[in-house]
Structure 1
Amino acid sequence: MASNSLWAQQANAKEADSLTENSKQSKKRNVAILIHNGVEILDFAGPSEVFASTEGFNVYTVSLTKEPIISQGFIKITPSYSLTDCPKPDIVVLPGGDTGPFIKNKLLIDWIKQSATQAEVLLSVCTGAGLLAKAGLLDGKQATTFHSYIEPLQRATPKAEILANTRFVDNGQIITTAGVSAGIDGALHVVSKLKGLGIAQQTARYMEYDKWKPEEGLVVEHK
């Protein structure tokens, strides 16, 4: 009887471990896509498409408030959340566009800093890198951005090295991309990093995005 009881305990333990592992695998990562007045359409739409088309991600938009924002002068979007009620993100996407006024917004910069203490990945697209720089998250790192913003960002961030002709730069938690369509490449890289190259390739194939070349990015090795 004792051996049967031990066997039952071991079987129950294995079943519990299996359920725990399945739960971990099925848990969706929260992906917060920041939007703001003047945000570049493809900067946020490209990564949104990637994550929303890949199993395992819960994608939502977040802005300073829940008031509608205007993208590039003609698309009105109502954010899902404001900074104050946004679910805790595992991945934060910071698109570019007219980011100048928002780099000076203390509430937003503080939210980015706070998110960086817990999120797996912060991904900037285009001039969204300026938000990471203002939060001090590019110091000591290599990064990239929209081609016409490289010199201004370098001047604003002397402790970082801003690279030209680089589709994306992966520093581990902090990933920056070049402009506009490069956000798609960066998001696919994040999918590859978290879920495997095969899954990322399936997403790219679904999107019929033939441009993606993983080797065009720089992955910084940390010692």
Structure 2
Amino acid sequence: MKFGVLVFPGSNCDIDCFKAVESTIGQPVEYVWHTSTDLSAYDAILVPGGFSYGDYLRCGAIAQFAPVMAALKEAAEKGKYILGICNGFQILTEARLLPGALLRNKELKFRCHSAKLRVVNNRTPFTSDYAENELIDIPIAHGEGSYYCDEATLKELQQNGQIVFRYEAGNNPNGSVDDIAGVSNAAGNVVGMMPHPERAVHELLGSADGKRMFTSILNAWREQSGTAVIGG
């Protein structure tokens, strides 16, 4: 399975994503510059955190127009696995690959600490190695991570199982509607989340709970291609 990690000017979690793939599942992984126009070589694409184009205007608002985004939309339509993390989540919402938007944190402060997440939907290619309703420890680092959508969209997300992660009840760090920490598209092959699973792949980092996101993706691809799966 081949992974691509998109790199925009201002990305700063691209190396973290690269190392997470390399160290947790040992699959081929490459950096892909924002000017690229072809993602056909990759089975999964990671859109990392950071401050793409300096986060001028809104976070992700400029990155959505990068040449690579047309190829990313094509990859999404073909059912390839796409994971947007933090700024990557913001980019995916700006590009309308995911519903909703990310607003300034409720307290208008940058939040950087461990966070407890509830696995709401473990039937996605990104979460199959988790138990439903499992509480996991994944760090956050964002200033504009408050997920927002209108009531009609929220009802649709709830009914379709598109809410993938919620912050632990009573511990919402940013004011996200319905405590949402991560959502998927209707097809389930595109997921965006504010917390950083790539920073939680080993106990030395404080948690290894993020590792199973990467094993889940690999297992989903192996099941699709008829290859033996691996343990989480």
Normalising by structure 1, what TM-score? Answer: 0.52
Pairing 1:107–2:67 present: yes
CA RMSD of aligned residues (A): 3.8
Moved segments of 4+, more than 6 Å: none
Maintained 8 Å contact 1:94/1:129: yes
Maintained 8 Å contact 2:48/2:87: yes
Residues 25-174 of structure 1: pairs in structure 2 closer than 5 A: 29-40=1-12, 43-54=13-24, 57-65=27-35, 83-99=36-52, 100=55, 102-139=62-99, 147-151=142-146, 154=148, 159=153, 164=167, 165=172, 169=182, 171=184, 172-174=188-190
CA shift, 1:62, in A, is: 0.3
Which residue is 1:182 aligned to?
A: 197
Query: Secondary structure, in 3 states, of the residue corresponding to 1:191?
Result: helix
Deviation at 1:110, TM superposition (A): 1.6
Q: Which blocks of at least 5 consecutive residues in structure 2 are unaligned? A: 56-60, 102-119, 121-139, 158-162, 173-178, 201-209, 221-228
Q: Rg larger in 1 or in 2?
A: 1
- Aligned letter for 1:63? W
Which has a greater percent of helix? 1
SS in structure 1 at match of 2:37: coil
Would the alpha carbon gap of residues 198 and 84 (structure 1) be closer, same or farther in structure 2, given more than 3 Å must change?
closer
Give 1:131 shift. Answer: 1.5
Aligned-residue offset at 1:51: 1.7
Amino acid paired to 1:35: V
Write out aligned runs for 1:194-209 (5 A). 194-195=218-219, 199-200=231-232
Count of aligned pairs between the two proteins: 149
Question: Larger % of strand: which?
Answer: 2
1:91 corresponds to which letter in structure 2? A
Aligned counterparts, 1:11-22, within 5 A: none
Shift of 1:46: 2.6
